[in-house]
Structure 1
């Protein structure tokens, strides 16, 4: 039986997610409904993607009994409110990253999922890529020896986009793209809580971070350096440095198709999209959809690839980094 998807939000990332779903077997994944804030937007989106049902409100999608799981692709400042709407109605949820605006909100979402006994996962799609699975295997086999340093860089010129620069929209380098850097470091160090967090950054006039560097120190004198910016391009790769060599996850680090181990490259090609995409390598969103289906078929309430505990630690570190740099959102005082 196919996993029946409901799409919440008719924006760019929801478009790409639907394109990615269409690269999977129709017998496994079907998009049965989409909801937007206006019926016109929902109908236009449904026509583009061949979705049979369109709703002009999220509340209508909540009531649709033919949906197995809801993909939430709305602006992350609305993740808490919208996420609770579906979770409290007993719907399984895959919610775009960042899960929410701070640790308090994330804990609220997780609590609702557990109280209602439903599946919940933060859509950090990187965690589901074959390259990341291969990195995990190499580390478990001690291929590069003892890991001493992780370096992750992610930067894009996004200063012309309000979503990335305005505080009211949850903008800032860390929330938008820096999250990918931190999650990679935590994955390598097996979700260990860092002994120390040191962050510095540059703020825009709007009060969000244009650039930020976060240094994490782990037990055994191991470190991670995570740099992100919305002002310019960075190498957009990740390097794991061990006592016996290096592993490099090549550009783009957050949705990779190339892995370099001790100088030898291996390619992991993605399927071609059926429609134009808004973001690089977005057909890779198929991997998180496959992970959700796997979990639902097994009756799991969270994924081991991106567990709810992983999401809590990730946002906790982000909160502390923001505190040190001075990025404060309205949600932090609520």
Structure 2
């Protein structure tokens, strides 16, 4: 069974996703067959670079077309909800870039629609499918660092992009990079925090550009998470247990090296591509595509490694952070 992908938008992250899948030698029976953009010329240029057969000048046209099983949505944040709705409503499975939606209410609505349609939906938290994350999870499960008590994670980049800094484009540190630190805490502790403390700053456009998030869990467990969109941080994460620790080396949101519980460095090499990537370690995007294809073939409507319940939990945390900092979008209800 060939899994046929449609690509929604022709921007940088979509280019990296297609490049990662097309250049991976062991991708199995899946093919990228179409791309849609609001500007047909951009879709045509994208298709020429990536050798995609079919192009569409509107998202609606591709949604209503046949021959596509699943779409990857890489449009700007404010369009995730409406585009995912569009494709689910037209019978397509959906892999949507993070954040899944702009707020909790949208995430609840989208998840409800996917369940009603009995279609696959996943937030593209590619970190979960990293070989380094899988190795870390194995070492923790084996008790190699003892009981996990503390997590420290930093993720910050300097960006002048309107996508990050302007409210009309869905800019927000917690939505752009904060999702990665929050999902890591979720992945490590596997429970809801009992207390959330936040300190942050907001720019002149009303968009958060940095925050320190402290999550408290039962049993004295804690996560200290730092985000920034105006400073380059050392983007690593360390999980501390009662016996030892594990460090995900930069970039921790998709690392290719970890310092194991015994202090040794383990490397996970990524495959090569002839086409340059726009973002660091983007070759790793193929692993989430592999998971989506596996789930669809097995008749699953969500991934056990990135469940819909976890995406809803992330949306709640992201919305809580924004509420505490006074960052509001037009789509917000609170």
Q: TM-score, normalised by structure 1?
A: 0.97
Deviations 1:39-65 (A, max 9, x none): 111111111100000000111111222
Residue 141 of structure 1 aligns with which residue? 142
SS at match of 1:331: coil
Residue 167 of structure 2 aligns with which residue? 167
Residue 12 of structure 1 aligns with which residue? 12
What is the alpha-carbon distance in structure 2 between the residues aligned to residue 179 and residue 75 of structure 1? Answer: 15
- Report how far residue 145 of structure 1 moved: 0.4
Map residues 229-308 of structure 1 onto 2, 5 A cutoff: 229-262=228-261, 263-308=263-308
User: Is this contact kept in 2: 1:2–1:26, CA < 8 A?
Assistant: no
SS at match of 2:306: coil
What is the alpha-carbon distance in structure 1 between the residues aligned to residue 179 and residue 107 of structure 2? Answer: 14
Residue 76 of structure 2 aligns with which residue? 75
For the pair 1:218 / 2:217, whether they are aligned, the reply is: yes
Structure 2: gaps spanning 5 or more residues: none
What is the alpha-carbon distance in structure 2 between the residues aligned to residue 64 and residue 139 of structure 1? Answer: 45
Residue 47 of structure 1 aligns with which residue? 48
Deviations 1:62-114 (A, max 9, x none): 12221111111111100111110001111100000000100100111101101
SS at match of 1:330: coil
Residue 122 of structure 2 aligns with which residue? 121
What is the alpha-carbon distance in structure 2 between the residues aligned to residue 324 and residue 81 of structure 1? Answer: 26
Residue 39 of structure 2 aligns with which residue? 38
User: Is this contact kept in 2: 1:250–1:257, CA < 8 A?
Assistant: yes
SS at match of 1:139: helix
- Report how far residue 26 of structure 1 moved: 6.5
- Report how far residue 255 of structure 1 moved: 1.1
SS at match of 2:106: helix
What is the alpha-carbon distance in structure 2 between the residues aligned to residue 26 and residue 175 of structure 1? Answer: 29
Residue 85 of structure 2 aligns with which residue? 84
For the pair 1:183 / 2:183, whether they are aligned, the reply is: yes
User: Is this contact kept in 1: 2:165–2:207, CA < 8 A?
Assistant: yes
User: Is this contact kept in 1: 2:177–2:227, CA < 8 A?
Assistant: yes
User: Is this contact kept in 2: 1:172–1:210, CA < 8 A?
Assistant: yes
User: Is this contact kept in 2: 1:23–1:286, CA < 8 A?
Assistant: no
Residue 206 of structure 1 aligns with which residue? 205
SS at match of 1:163: helix
Deviations 1:244-278 (A, max 9, x none): 01100010011110011132100001011221111
The CA RMSD measured in Å over matched residues stands at 1.1
User: Is this contact kept in 1: 2:27–2:290, CA < 8 A?
Assistant: no
What is the alpha-carbon distance in structure 2 between the residues aligned to residue 34 and residue 242 of structure 1? Answer: 46
SS at match of 1:226: strand
What is the alpha-carbon distance in structure 2 between the residues aligned to residue 300 and residue 274 of structure 1? Answer: 33
Which portions of structure 1, spanning 4 or more consecutive aligned residues, are displaced by more than 6 angstroms? none
Residues 26 and 203 (structure 1), Cα distance of their counterparts in 2 relative to 1, 3 Å cut: closer
Aligned length: 332
